[in-house]
Amino acid sequence: MSDYPDAEQVLAQLPAPWPEEALIGIRRALRSSPRKVVVLDDDPTGTQTVEDITVVTQWDPQTLREAFEETNLGFFILTNSRALTETGTIELHREILANLEEAANGQPYTIVSRSDSTLRGHFLAESKTIAAFRGPFDLTVIAPFFQAGQRLTLDDTHYLIDQGKLIPCHETPFAEDKVFGYKASHLPTWVEEKTHGETPATEVISIPLDLIRSKGPDGVFEILTQAPKGSTCIVNACAQKDMEVFAAAALRFEDSGRNVLYRTAAAFVAARFGIRPPPPLLPEFISNSKERGGLVVVGSYVPKSSEQLAKLLELGELKAIELNVNELLKSADPDRYLQSLGDSLESALAAGDDVVLYTSRGLVFSDAKEQNLDIGGRVAVALVSLVKSLKKSPGFVIAKGGITSSTIATDALGIRKAQVLGQLVPGVPVWRAADDSRFPEIDLVIFPGNVGGPDSLCEAYRKLKRVR
């Protein structure tokens, strides 16, 4: 770790952020623009930077029509496509995009393909599928910056801050993902890698941080207008204000008649909505029952999640129920195994005990990407079946991991539509389910697998425990 540059020293040497408030210009432009934003979110953690925004988990034309009619700025569609195969995400996006066109009925809208701030996801497949419906695009924007997760883009290279050090993302565990791994943190090279050479690194244009901070939206807009049609563009950013400067220029670029596809992390989404990521919610704003114990579900396998789980278990304040993945996969009667766990879960919650339900940490891997997705899917189905078996609402629900959060929200809790309340802790959104969900108006904490320090899950738990 000592070989990496000190993040604080590197950031201190950068020029000061653009002094004017770009967010004011964005909000002014949005007031006069009929164009809405539709965020296709490949897992539910993309809502981590916004508040008072609608999320839908179904995409039939009627649900999407309601979303267009009932929202001012736009809305999220939870696709959970990061859990799918490439073929699966292509088919899913074709269905969603066709229904969007029908539901919009001429309403202009911009698509943001929201994905992972550590560069995982179906970038090429989803971008090409969206382009087939909404293209050709004048520009495809790549902007993975996410401040709450300490992901920065500098000199076209994407970094993660860990223990105060600036680490290129390709040297982190995220780059070793069995499905979405990669070899390059230099984003033009990453684009070339992910497009299999179709877009050479030399043809990718860049919005330098120095320009963002010295020339503001006008300087960025000039680069955008000079970019060859069909270009891919990298956005450098080390603070939320950098992303707001870019968003102001991008909105002006859209309003000039250009067609843009955004492939970004959550920070750009907030800026494009004219929202600055809100401060953490006070516990009093979370609506939870005091009659039963609360539930923490941990399905994410990334090292950060395992570290946070270990800290939570060390508290000794929750009843621990482990879903042993090897036993689940090898059992001759998995339903009986799950029934036993479900009985233990229901009894503990009914007794008023807080429970952490977690998957065993020994990873089960296959050499084939699709088999790894299948294993992950079977584990997700098992977690859903356990939560779905509950007779009454838990006191609270925290779901740890993007795929885990998505399946718990949609399949276990039956959430068709929700409102984003804000953040419980930095980078961790809270959804309030609509009254047609299985447990009406339950508040669900969506805790990304790759966000927070070692004690962040404990902090989230304690905030909810105090109001019980």
pLDDT tens, 58-97? Answer: 999 999 999 999 999 999 999 999 989 999 999 999 999 9
End-to-end CA distance of the chain: 41
What is residue 270's predicted lDDT score, i.e. its pLDDT? 96
Average pLDDT over residues 117-141: 97
What is residue 368's predicted lDDT score, i.e. its pLDDT? 55
Angstrom CA distances, 423 to 46, 99, 439, stand at 12, 30, 21
245 contact partners, CB below 8 Å, separation of at least 6: 18, 22, 212, 213, 216, 217, 220
Instruction: Give the structural domain span for 125.
Output: 7-272
Average pLDDT over residues 120-148: 96
- 295 and 263 share one domain: no
159 neighbors 168 (Cβ within 8 angstroms): yes
pTM: 0.89
**Residue 2 falls within a domain, yes or no?**
no
**Residue 1 falls within a domain, yes or no?**
no
**Residue 134 falls within a domain, yes or no?**
yes
- 131 and 209 share one domain: yes
CA-to-CA distance for 29 and 36, rounded, in angstroms?
A: 12
Domain end call among 272, 305, 322: 272
Average pLDDT over residues 441-461: 90
Q: Where are the beta strands (DSSP E) in 240-351?
A: 260-264, 295-298, 319-323
Average pLDDT over residues 427-443: 91
Backbone angles phi, psi at 189, to 5 degrees: -70, -35
pLDDT tens string 193-247: 999 999 999 999 999 999 999 999 999 999 999 999 999 999 999 999 999 999 9
151 neighbors 235 (Cβ within 8 angstroms): no
Strand order in the sheet with 165-168: 151-154, 157-162, 165-168
258 by DSSP, 3-state: which?
Answer: coil
User: What CATH number corresponds to the domain at position 102?
Assistant: 3.40.50.10840
What is residue 17's predicted lDDT score, i.e. its pLDDT? 97
| Amino acid (one-letter) located at 224 | L
What is residue 367's predicted lDDT score, i.e. its pLDDT? 56
pLDDT band (50, 70, 90) for residue 399: very high
pLDDT band (50, 70, 90) for residue 467: low
**Residue 375 falls within a domain, yes or no?**
yes
Average pLDDT over residues 161-171: 95
Q: Choose between 191 and 330: higher pLDDT.
A: 191
What is residue 373's predicted lDDT score, i.e. its pLDDT? 54
Residue 194, CA atoms < 13 Å, CB-side half-sphere: 27
Angstrom CA distances, 44 to 82, 110, 206, 228, stand at 10, 19, 29, 34
User: What CATH number corresponds to the domain at position 453?
Assistant: 3.40.980.20
Is the dihedral angle over the CA atoms 309, 51, 287, 69 positive or is it negative?
negative
158 neighbors 144 (Cβ within 8 angstroms): yes
CA-to-CA distance for 452 and 303, rounded, in angstroms?
A: 12
273 by DSSP, 3-state: which?
Answer: coil
What is residue 199's predicted lDDT score, i.e. its pLDDT? 97
- 338 and 305 share one domain: yes
pLDDT band (50, 70, 90) for residue 43: confident
What is residue 46's predicted lDDT score, i.e. its pLDDT? 86
Four-point Cα dihedral 449, 454, 460, 461, nearest 10: 100
Backbone angles phi, psi at 424, to 5 degrees: -80, -50
CA-to-CA distance for 452 and 468, rounded, in angstroms?
A: 24
- 334 and 262 share one domain: no
Residue with tokens 């696709």: 79
- 433 and 394 share one domain: yes
- Hey, what are 186's tokens? 């230099």
Of the candidate ranges 92-96, 120-124, 272-276, 368-372, the one whose mean pLDDT is the lowest? 368-372
**Residue 201 falls within a domain, yes or no?**
yes
- 307 and 166 share one domain: no
Of the candidate ranges 24-33, 145-154, 330-339, the one whose mean pLDDT is the lowest? 330-339
DSSP assignment of 78-119: E--GGGS-HHHHHHHHHHHHHHHHHHHTT--EEEEEE--TTS
Number of domains in the chain: 2
Angstrom CA distances, 89 to 97, 331, 375, 454, stand at 12, 30, 17, 33
Four-point Cα dihedral 179, 185, 189, 190, nearest 10: 30
- 168 and 146 share one domain: yes
Domain end call among 239, 272, 305: 272
Of the candidate ranges 37-41, 365-369, 407-411, the one whose mean pLDDT is the lowest? 365-369
- 207 and 303 share one domain: no
- 335 and 379 share one domain: yes
What is residue 375's predicted lDDT score, i.e. its pLDDT? 63
- 71 and 154 share one domain: yes
pLDDT tens string 283-340: 888 877 678 899 999 988 778 889 999 999 999 999 999 998 888 888 778 889 999 9
452 neighbors 311 (Cβ within 8 angstroms): no
**Residue 278 falls within a domain, yes or no?**
no
- 293 and 351 share one domain: yes
**Residue 277 falls within a domain, yes or no?**
no
- 191 and 310 share one domain: no
What is residue 218's predicted lDDT score, i.e. its pLDDT? 98
pLDDT band (50, 70, 90) for residue 404: confident
| Summary mean pLDDT of the chain | 92
% of the chain exceeding 70 in pLDDT = 95
- Hey, what are 435's tokens? 């009254």
